[in-house]
Structure 1
Amino acid sequence: ASLLSLPNEVLSIIFENPKFPADYLCILAVLCRRLHFLALPIYFARNSMPSPQKSVVISLHPDGMDMLAALNMALFISTMEDITCIFPHPSCTSIFPLLPHLCRFRSFISRFPSVKSVTLQLDARNSMCNAAGDDVALRAWSSTLGALLNTLVEKRCTDLTVRYGGYLTRSYQLSSGKTKRAKRVLKSIKKLFRRSGGAMAGKGWEFRRAADQGRERALTSVSSKSSRPRTLTSLRIQSAVLMTPPCLNWTLSALRFCPITSLSISQISLENELWKASLTLIAKACPKLTSLSLSELETISDVEILKFCSRLPRLTSLRIGYNEEARGTPTRCRNGIVPEFRTLTSLVAPANFILYFL
């Protein structure tokens, strides 16, 4: 008798036996529809995914032999609610081995009419590999990550988290103009970026491409136009990638063109001047923000935290994390702007911050 002559009940008993090789389940799943709908759910259950339509955590492998390949063949998965994708660490000398994995995940997401909650873990925590790159690397990284992020937005993602990674975060430098000529150039650059929808400069400073790496800016952004309403309301930034150019521009455009009301920034280390510039731009992009969380931010001054909060007058919920072992947001308030929270209903912060507000 052949395998297909057995009833489904017997096949299920065979497939669920721990001694039956898991890899065989994937092979059987491509032979015919009947085995597909029997074997693949058991394969997912063995890999701690009893309900892949509801919640999955995928760790991508450099060789592509991972759970994403199995999920991609599943005919019975038509929706995806909560998905976490952990990308493999690329070569420490090149960003390019990572890019095909971003494309793979983007292709997978494109299958669905919508996704709800997505977490992208770009690298291991505290990794700063490939922080610099030439124009070719910058252009490839910016366009590939931007395409993935924009696909998530277009697929009506409501909750997006981006974790870790320092890719191309040192491809730009913060420059200040001191001479009259520099001020004129800065003014022209600011006008240019306003026309193109970007805003990568402020009063007396601008983000400028690192001269020793290249000249191309290669900024990525969310389009101001969309074929259907966007639903991204919560953005959690746990990666310096979205706090520095070129992808900071995507963050700013998402805050402008998506109905984001909740923003969380955590587990990031930047130089204090970069914090000042990035938070200034973010505050301008999201004046209607109602919920803000700041925690585990290294080398940021309490003054910058207060200034940032003061630029968000519509906050109803504010959370400032504690300082732990010389890491995280400072807890001693010095000279700064006292925010006027006229609509605030929830405040969680170190005692010194709360006393300062009072």
Structure 2
Amino acid sequence: MDSEFNPALAVGAGILRLPNEILLEVLQLLDPADPGIFALSTSCRRLHYLVLPIYLAGYGIPDAPTLASQDLTLLPGQLDVLGALQTALFLSNSSLKHIACSFSLNSARPAYHSRNLDGFFRHIRKLAGFLSILERVDEVTLDFKDLNFWVIGESIGVLESWNSAISALLDVILERHCQTLKVEGGMFMVHPSQFQRKPQALATVKRRSVIYDVGRRIGSAFVGKADAQPIFDSGKPQGGLRTFNIHSRVLLLHPCFSWTMAALSASPNLTSLSIIRVEIPERSWDDILTSIHVPTLEYLSIDLRSKIRPAALDQFLARHPLLTTLNLGRDLAPLAEGDVASKDCLRNLTNLSASPTYVRFLLADKRVAPAVRNVRLLVKVTSHATFDAASINETLAPCHVRLDSGHGVQLTLVIMVDYPSSHWAGFFAEEAHDNGSSSAPSPRRGANPDPLRCARALEMVSTRPSNAFEALALRWLPSFPALKALSFSGCLVNAHFDYNALSFVRCVRDACPNVRTVTLDGRVYDAVAVGMDGPLSWM
């Protein structure tokens, strides 16, 4: 067989006279990823429907015609197939449930060349082109975890190329009625002089740049209006973006920062916003919080290794009265002792996850978040930050009454243990100064109340199991008499063996008679049945 396959000659030679069964037998002899196969699929409608699925299968898409309303995941090595997908007549005007694309670019690599960046932008544009043929896509995930790009060593004009490519893709995503947009990862470095430091006040911003067309389609009446202006109709839902997960610094640095802020304001049905695992200059966070105004927001998660000014956080929360669930991650820098949220704030909040100073910030005044029913207290323990129960109780003393279960609040203590070794030495503050005393530390300091004793559930997650964990847990858990449920992940060595799990659950039940369930690495055990020497029981 001739190594150079010419589809035009093949068609001219009468290939269309063959039945489909024979054509398929012939095509199986060829490399399905051969560009000639794709060229043949463009020659006529019959061959398009017959041959293109074979070509796509060569890129790991085995049943392309059934993609409609399904999931599509493309890794960096598969992105070249996007051009072929854009020609697929069997996908035109159809819908995808979810598309996830992973991109790869490393400007720090010794062999890096500008053509690598050109290839990255080409894939971005091809994805936009493919999405443009669809009627809608419900969920989109852009994975930039393998992106490492330093603009500092590049021409400043490169930023405009980023702006053009990324913003155009994001515009198309919103135009396809995407309801959930996730942007994850990526190391994107720009010079401090390129940061957008002082964005204009939200009420006066003129958004006629990167997403003007999208904003106009969604409803120009919603863009650039004053804070007090209603931005959505209380009648029938209009569709559009509802969940936006910003887990990448790419969207929060210039040049994409403006697009992100405009998209948030131009999404009248956005109810869930997540900003986590993003590292940008600390001074930028006040600008970000000041720029975000989404009155429809109900679920918010912010998990950053950064410092947020209490005034900026307070004003942000006041602008979002519909919040019902708020997660302020354990890595946020602690607040000062006198910081308290504004009165009559967060009237609808029912679920709160935060570290001790933020719980105090929101619950010290009973007029703030009066409807809270579930509080997850987040504590991070490392070799440099021990578990200091007395200090936590002192921090939470102003809201002790509200954390009492008698007021209808379910308090869950969540501990993340991040130790480089499995010894867990100095877990408690008392041990750090007591050379590892074996006595159980007391949560009480002086006459202060003990909010931690109100905890009804305990969740502990460790980066590595410890041989010392079982002994530590058994002498520590009795300090929390209200515990009903325990969950341990990555803490106990050999927890997957039934005998070890059974023994540990029985010991926990003896130390804490009120505990009813114990979860070990995802398996839930009935502590009551196990404590009565019954058979091993999981739920």
After TM superposition, the score normalised by the length of structure 1 is 0.70
Match of 1:55 among 71, 85, 88: 71
Change (3 A) 1:331 1:88: closer
Q: Secondary structure at the match of 1:246?
A: coil
Match of 1:316 among 324, 342, 351: 324
CA apart distance, 1:66:
1.8
Instruction: Output the amino acid matched with 1:141.
Output: W
Which residue of the partner structure matches residue 508 of structure 2? Answer: none
* Residues in 2 aligned to 1:65 and 1:116: alpha-carbon distance in whole angstroms: 20
Contact 1:87 1:122 in 2 (8 A): yes
The CA RMSD over aligned residues, in Å, is: 3.9
Q: Secondary structure at the match of 1:292?
A: strand
CA apart distance, 1:310:
5.1
Contact 2:72 2:100 in 1 (8 A): yes
Contact 1:302 1:334 in 2 (8 A): no
CA apart distance, 1:80:
3.5
Which residue of the partner structure matches residue 121 of structure 2? Answer: 99
Q: Secondary structure at the match of 1:74?
A: coil
Q: Secondary structure at the match of 2:327?
A: strand
After TM superposition, the score normalised by the length of structure 2 is 0.49
Q: Which runs of 5+ in 2 are unaligned?
A: 1-12, 220-237, 364-539
Match of 1:338 among 330, 337, 341: 341
CA apart distance, 1:257:
1.7
Match of 2:264 among 252, 255, 258: 255
* Residues in 1 aligned to 2:306 and 2:262: alpha-carbon distance in whole angstroms: 26
Which residue of the partner structure matches residue 41 of structure 1? Answer: 53
Match of 2:166 among 135, 139, 145: 145
Which residue of the partner structure matches residue 294 of structure 1? Answer: 302
Q: More deviation in 4-13 or 153-162?
A: 4-13
Would you say how many aligned residue pairs link Structure 1 and Structure 2? 312
Note the alpha carbon deviations across 1:217-265, whole angstroms, 9 max, x for none. Answer: x974445422776612221111212222332211121122222221111
Which residue of the partner structure matches residue 165 of structure 1? Answer: 186
Contact 2:286 2:308 in 1 (8 A): no
Change (3 A) 1:337 1:101: farther
Q: Secondary structure at the match of 2:183?
A: strand
Q: Which runs of 5+ in 1 are unaligned?
A: 177-188, 199-217, 324-328
Q: More deviation in 342-351 or 103-112?
A: 342-351
Contact 1:85 1:120 in 2 (8 A): yes
Match of 2:103 among 84, 87, 90: 87
Q: How does 1:12-51 map to 2 (within 5 A)?
A: 21-24=31-34, 26=38, 28-45=40-57, 47-48=60-61, 50=63, 51=66
Instruction: Output the amino acid matched with 1:156.
Output: H
Contact 1:84 1:118 in 2 (8 A): yes
Note the alpha carbon deviations across 1:53-79, whole angstroms, 9 max, x for none. Answer: 221122355xx9722133123221122
* Residues in 2 aligned to 1:319 and 1:43: alpha-carbon distance in whole angstroms: 46
Q: Runs of at least 4 residues of structure 1 off by over 6 A?
A: 227-230
Contact 1:331 1:352 in 2 (8 A): no
Contact 1:221 1:249 in 2 (8 A): no
Match of 1:226 among 213, 217, 226: 217
Q: More deviation in 113-122 or 250-259?
A: 113-122
Instruction: Output the amino acid matched with 1:243.
Output: L
1:70 aligns with 2:73: no
Q: Secondary structure at the match of 2:277?
A: strand
Question: Of the two, which has the highest radius of gyration?
Answer: 2
Change (3 A) 1:221 1:349: same
Contact 1:291 1:318 in 2 (8 A): yes
Contact 2:305 2:333 in 1 (8 A): no
Q: Secondary structure at the match of 1:255?
A: helix
